[in-house]
Amino acid sequence: MDFKFSDRVPSLDNDVVGEILKVAGDPKIISFAGGLPAPELFPVEEMKKAADEVFEKDGQNALQYTASIGNPKLRQLVTDRMQNHKHIDCNVDNVCITTGSEQSIDLIAKMMINPGDVVLVEKPTYLCALDVFRSYGAKIVGVDMDDDGMKMDSLEQALKQNPDTKLIYTIPNFQNPTGRTMPADRRQKCAELASKYNVMVMEDDPYGEIRYSGEPVDPIKHFDKDGHVIFMSTFSKILAPGMRLGWIVADKKFVDAFVLMKQSADLHSDNLSQYIVARFMEENDLDAHIQKIRDVYYRRSSMMLKEIDEQFPEGVKHSNPEGGMFIWVEVPGNINTMELFKNCVEHNVAFVPGEPFYPDKVIPGTFRVNFSNMQENQIHEGIHRMAVAISEMLNK
């Protein structure tokens, strides 16, 4: 059958990431390629207790349809957390529950992008967001970064050169893939530029709670004076990704339009999951649970950075994340990253090559490693294998 797919469907014979992850799933391979939270940290017993109580006390309601905007109790709990932890000026009408951050990205792009519209992104950035923007026909323009994230002078230059820009997409905390964090002055400037050029900012913050060093920084949304910033986050990294719950915080007028789009996408996010997460948050100390995650990720991140510094060849650079799940590595010279990936697989270790994260010109020799889902002994052995593979490539 010759299916006449739309242009939005990616080519099935060019799924580079899928092939990489398939190879990385080989049990012989120590894989730093995934972006998985540590499953041993999922609050299984507490979630089970919350679920039992939901079925016992609210079973019929939890199994019924609900409003597209989300469970009122969960939205209020999220609102309280946004006000107290993120210093975002909002109320419950500014919050909509989503089916994970992926739905937030997709629906916002669907709402804002017509074919040919410009989206400005960090270079490199989250590969799935790039896929979404491309699916709606966006012209994607990369903005340069340094160790402090997106450069604001480069952002303003891109805005001047692309007056038809619709969106700025940024991950200011522990960015995927680089692990970099944007300081407060740049966040404030980003909000000011959005207002000046009348452009919406998608502030994607899936990792912001997982800070294990340095000082917290208020989100871009904190500096938003006129509704140009949409804040997005998720329960995937602080509870469990299988719940498939996230949220947006935005101007009420934007939220109202977003809800209309969501109605045609999935009617509403999983109602049972919303009830369970709300019950969990009411009965447990979420901050204490998040601290356990931070402690484990700090140990694993510190160990991986130490092993990289000790074992990788001279000249290899890496980011130094203050939180999150990823480290970005840059190998000197004109190394073909896909060839390096293949050589690493021959040594039974894997990473994600940098190519899929770039919106335009690719910087060779770059790749992302994940530490959150790896035990300490695997980190030591995996980095050793990778060091050998990199040395072989550099010495060719």
Do 228 and 360 sit in the same domain of this protein? no
Average pLDDT over residues 107-111: 98
> 2 lies in a domain?
no
CA nearest to 171, candidates 90, 234, 214, 213: 234
Average pLDDT over residues 257-271: 97
pLDDT band (50, 70, 90) for residue 7: confident
Residue 338, pLDDT > 80, answer yes
pLDDT, greater one: 12 or 67 = 67
Query: Could you check whether the bond before residue 177 is cis, i.e. omega within 30 degrees of 0?
Result: yes
Average pLDDT over residues 356-365: 94
Least confident of 215-219, 266-270, 312-316, 333-337: 333-337
Do 275 and 373 sit in the same domain of this protein? no
Average pLDDT over residues 166-184: 98
DSSP H stretches of helix in the chain: 16-24, 44-62, 72-85, 100-112, 127-135, 152-161, 184-196, 252-265, 271-283, 286-311, 337-346, 376-394
Total number of domains constituting the chain? 2
* pTM, two decimal places: 0.95
Sign of CA dihedral 217, 255, 123, 233: positive
Residue 34, pLDDT > 80, answer yes
Neighbours of 99 (CB within 10 A): 21
pLDDT attached to residue 24: 63
Average pLDDT over residues 4-30: 74
Do 112 and 233 sit in the same domain of this protein? yes
pLDDT attached to residue 14: 62
Average pLDDT over residues 205-214: 97
pLDDT attached to residue 15: 67
> 307 lies in a domain?
yes
pLDDT attached to residue 13: 63
Find the domain containing 362 and state its range.
12-42+288-394
- Of 283, 303, 337, the last residue of a domain is 283
Give the chain's mean pLDDT: 95
Q: What is the CATH number of the domain that holds 116?
A: 3.40.640.10
> 344 lies in a domain?
yes
Q: What is the CATH number of the domain that holds 321?
A: 3.90.1150.10
